[in-house]
Chains A and B, each alone.
Chain A
């Protein structure tokens, strides 16, 4: 096999390709100006998202559909057309077209089948219309473009189904609805052939009443297209949906009817709320983190965030509070301490849980640490406290002299220490003197009533004075206000 039969060299060549890096300042400037003139264009409203159908309801529908022994092909494209009566609408807006490709897109058509408005009804739908230009185009042109985009984006797979839906008000011209439905079906089929894809194409007409009913339940066409394919009447479809919804309420309901949580620390705050309602749920999540942008989720976004957490929480009204706190913190990924924890739950069995607590976990530990630290500081303060308000000492012999002064005034301590021996002088001041003197003075343990000799003995021992001394002078002011003050001079006669 020659090297050309292996595409590794192709890869290598592309990896080593020198790429042009061209600058186009003039074009950039022109484009910037062009965009500048466009700024007054209001960015089109983001299409109102369909609230997500209760997940379990959709699951049950799917199960039920299996039970009905309906063949369920994969649905990758669902197209719906909403036709509005020309008599009831302004002349320019006579029909709407809804497209779902997993994405749900609604297009409004005029009497001439021209798209006059387009909205994405879910995330994928918005994305599709973001990268397309369908407004002002004829229905067939718009569908051709959409089919191309769906193909390019990989939504169309050979085993998939393209389903289209037409619905309109009771007084709508049924022939017109059918004509739109047929046109949409033929257009999509032609484009799929052009793209060389074999995909099944379906088209349905349904009443505005049924569409509104399903819409109110938050169901997108993809959720019920199989019921339409099963040739059920609209009443039968409603009945199936109702029974499924009831089944969901009876057996599949979430453990919590209401769940409200607040966790707060100095750095973070989390608020989550969920309420189960008959159709759709209310959900809200807010996360605040110091120095970071707040996160706020609502409705379907918040629901999607909360649902897996709530499903896994597995709380019960009889559960110990600490256990609840631990489980909730873990489920919401709350790391570290909190100052406040507040929870309010109404369970599906109507039981309640409602409590709040403060400063647990690491915060409490930190508080204990702070207390211990405070105690240590107090101990240290006691240790470093000077036992005397003032201490002055002078001891002298013919070869050596020692002088120490320390005074405490208004919380400030000044200290000085001088020592000279055989003509060599050492002097300490400030903190160095204090550091030297403090342990000595603590050991001294003097008091005002002490005998002079005992004072002198203690002092010379504490200061490590060895041998004979000729003069000794001490002045001490104790913290309790008492004084010790005397001067002693050696009298050689006495000694004899």
Chain B
């Protein structure tokens, strides 16, 4: 096992033995998961909520994770892409973690409290016009294309890693990427702001 996977395995084992050790996992993965969701959604508030929900699901289910076909980070991304899909479904789901916490008197993450941070993040995001255009276009793509494209280009995952995350053979991932990029380009070219996109 390579050192990276060995490190992951150790983190997971720690968290499975002592749930308090989940904090180490959270510290390790928060930034990359948040930024992946942010790049994909192009929306700071949505990225915040989906990130929180992703880690809540991971915490709740860490005991079930078995080191077999997928690595832990692949499993985490798997939860993440499912949460993104669930978040944008036509019939929005309740965020169970928030409900659960509120029922126990926890004050959920408040937009008001974090206004400054959100504004700063929002301003930073607005500087990435091309990415925002991409994010908008990606939302119009069927989920299977959006998953592979964003994992490849927004999270820097290898084809083999994407295959593990989306649970499809590498060949299928390549083909989804190929077709997805073609579709994405068509969508982008329809956007009135796309004139300078490929320049």
Report A's interface with B, CB cutoff 8 A.
3-4, 7, 9-11, 13-15, 17-28, 30-32, 34-39, 41, 43-47, 120, 123, 126-127, 129-133, 148-149, 152-154, 293
Query: Total number of A-B contacts with CB less than 8 angstroms?
Result: 173
Would you call B198 and A38 a contact (CB within 8 A)? Answer: no
Smallest CB separation, B131 vs chain A (Å):
6
On chain B, which size bracket covers the interface? 35 or more
Question: Looking across the interface, which residue of chain A has its beta carbon closest to that of B114?
Answer: A26
User: Is B2's beta carbon under 8 Å from chain A?
Assistant: no
Q: Is the CB of B144 within 8 A of A154?
A: yes
Q: How far is the CB of B55 from chain A (nearest CB, A)?
A: 6
- B64 interface residue per 8 A CB criterion: yes
State whether A22 touches B64 (Cβ < 8 A). no
Q: Provided the pairs A14-B134, A19-B131, A154-B168 are in contact, do residues A35 and B104 lie with their beta carbons within 8 angstroms? A: no
* A130 and B108 contact, CB distance less than 8 A: no
CA of A20 to CA of B124, assembled, Å: 7
- Cβ of B181 within 8 Å of any chain A Cβ, yes or no, is yes
Q: Are B48 and A24 closer than 8 Å at their CB atoms?
A: yes
Chain B positions within 8 Å of A293 at CB level: 9
Q: How far is the CB of B89 from chain A (nearest CB, A)?
A: 7
Shortest distance from the beta carbon of B74 to any chain A beta carbon, whole Å: 11
Given A22-B38, A30-B109, verify A39-B61 contact (CB < 8 Å): no
Closest Cβ–Cβ distance, residue A143 to chain B (whole Å): 14
CB pair B35–A152 under 8 Å, yes or no, is no
Q: Which residues of A contact B168 (CB under 8 A)?
A: 154
Given A35-B59, A37-B104, A152-B85, are A126 and B64 neighbors across the interface (CB < 8 Å)? yes
Q: How far is the CA of A36 from the CA of B52 in the complex (A)?
A: 12
* Inter-subunit contact B154/A126 (CB<8 Å): no
* Assembled-state Cα–Cα distance A117/B191 (Å): 47
B7 contacts the other chain (Cβ, under 8 Å)?
no
Query: Which residues of B (129-159) have their CB < 8 Å from a CB of A?
Result: 130-131, 134, 143-144, 149, 152-154
Chain A residue at smallest Cβ distance from B61: A130
Let me know if B35 and A44 touch, CB within 8 A. no
Q: Are B60 and A22 in contact (CB-based, < 8 A)?
A: no
From A30, A120, A133, contact of B64 by CB (8 A): A120
Are A17 and B63 neighbours in the complex by a CB distance under 8 Å?
no
In the assembly, what is the distance between CA of A149 and CA of B85, in Å? 9
Contact of B144 among A7, A32, A148, A152 (CB under 8 A): A152
B51 touching A31 by the CB < 8 A rule? yes
In the assembled complex, the CB of A98 is this many whole angstroms from the nearest CB of chain B, namely 18
Is there contact, CB below 8 Å, between B117 and A26? Answer: yes
Interface of chain B residues 31 through 71 with chain A (CB within 8 A): 31, 34-35, 38-39, 44, 48, 51-52, 55-57, 59-66, 68-69
CB pair B57 A130 closer than 8 Å: yes
Question: Contacts of A32 on B, CB cut-off 8 Å?
Answer: 23, 26
